[in-house]
Amino acid sequence: MRILLVTGPGGAGRTTLAAATALAGARRGERVLLLTTESSAPEVVLGARPEAASATPVAPGLHARRVDPGDRFRQEFLAFQERAGTALDLLGAAPLDEDELTEIPGSEAFALLHALRTEHASDDWDTVVVDMPPAEETIRLLALPAQVRRYLRRLLPAERQAARALRPVLAQLAGVPMPAQKLYEAAERWEDELAAVQRVIDAPDTSVRLVTEAGPVAAANLRTIRAGLALHGRRTDSVLVNRLLPTGSADPFLAALSGSQQTALKALREESADVPVHEVPHLGRDPQGVDDLAALLDGTPETAGPGGTAESAGRDPWTVEDRLATDGILLWRVPLPGATREGLALVRRGDEIVVSVGRHRRIRTLPSALRRCTVSGAGLRDGVLDIRFTPDPGLWPKSP
């Protein structure tokens, strides 16, 4: 199954082009699902209101489904409340009813990830096109499973969980259940769920498609977005430049606007020389309904399949290069297209390394060989960060 995550700066038209891409796949004979968290925009664009409970037919081969974060939050909270009922009783807590529950900030991200995992496991679709949040939020959302799993491992390390076997005995001796057991059980469920979501995000057929407009800061914004996505190993398969005006207008006002767009389009192509850039025309109106989406299809590329990069092949794009024989170092190569030296930071913390690109940060555990080394330098060149490691004589195995 192909998973295509469509995002971009706010207001660039990502919902419209996500729907157009989904329709293009359906017209090629694929079974396509459009997944969105929006409530009103998809209804206007598609001419049909996606439901939350089940996929809504939109056109031959195309269904749409709306993710309801409130419903997902209520289900999860009530299930947790039931499982932890005994512990809550011991604390004197009063249970909450379903009708008094409203979702908390952040629940939308978890609801969307859960829906993505669920639909990926389904045999109903060939392609799932996801109308993602704005790009900065999407980057944080895609990094969420790995971050939460790291927190769980730090707060509830596996070696301490071995003590769970004693808790039923202690509970019998004390005469009351041990609440900590519920905590470990909940952590196990979260770990399993997050690991499954991570596998979907890292799958070879999962990629990101960026939507932007041809404005004066579009290239700079695109550079920042791509660097943030690359930091977390996410592959950009193409860039859609939306709402392009026709060139050669006799109207001076329209000619000036078009000329400005063409200048920005040139900068976008230069910035994204390693991925396809597709032009999407301005219809002269806001697209409404399947017929208007069809008018955009010439500017919408086919749904991307597996590519040839490390990310698309399902391999870790952070590769270690052995230069011990020639330079006496090991090189950890981190692809970061779009990153600049000014926004780059690198810190080692024990067996982990922290890489920051602008507002985005990623913490990686060092491969075993690099843990016995010291960081001796780093350099950014041609969109790749090379981190140099020199073997620590006190830790590195001595040659016989």
pLDDT one-digit tens code per residue, 193-232? 889 999 999 998 999 999 999 999 999 999 999 999 999 9
Q: What are phi and psi of 333, to 5 degrees?
A: -100, 125
Lowest mean pLDDT among 3-12, 47-56, 360-369, 373-382: 47-56
Q: Is residue 237 part of a domain?
A: yes
Containing H/E element for 43? helix 41-46
Question: DSSP letters of 89-126?
Answer: HHTTPPPPPGGG--PPTTHHHHHHHHHHHHHHT-SS-S
Which of the listed residues 238, 265, 299 is the one where a domain comes to its end? 299
The CATH number given to whatever domain includes residue 369 is 2.60.40.790
For residue 154, what are the domain limits? 2-70+102-299
The pTM of this model reads 0.84
**pLDDT tens per residue, range 106-135:** 678 888 998 999 999 999 999 999 999 999
Q: Are residues 133 and 239 both part of a single domain?
A: yes
Flag whether pLDDT at 168 surpasses 90: no
Q: Are residues 359 and 267 both part of a single domain?
A: no
- The whole-chain average pLDDT of the chain stands at 83
Into how many domains does the chain fold? 2
Q: Is residue 307 part of a domain?
A: no
Q: Could you report how far apart the first and last alpha carbons of the chain are, in Å? A: 50
How would you class 367 by CB atoms within 10 Å of its CB: exposed for 0-12, middle for 13-18, buried for 19 or more? middle
Q: Are residues 358 and 259 both part of a single domain?
A: no
What's the rounded Cα separation, in Å, for the pair 200 and 275? 22
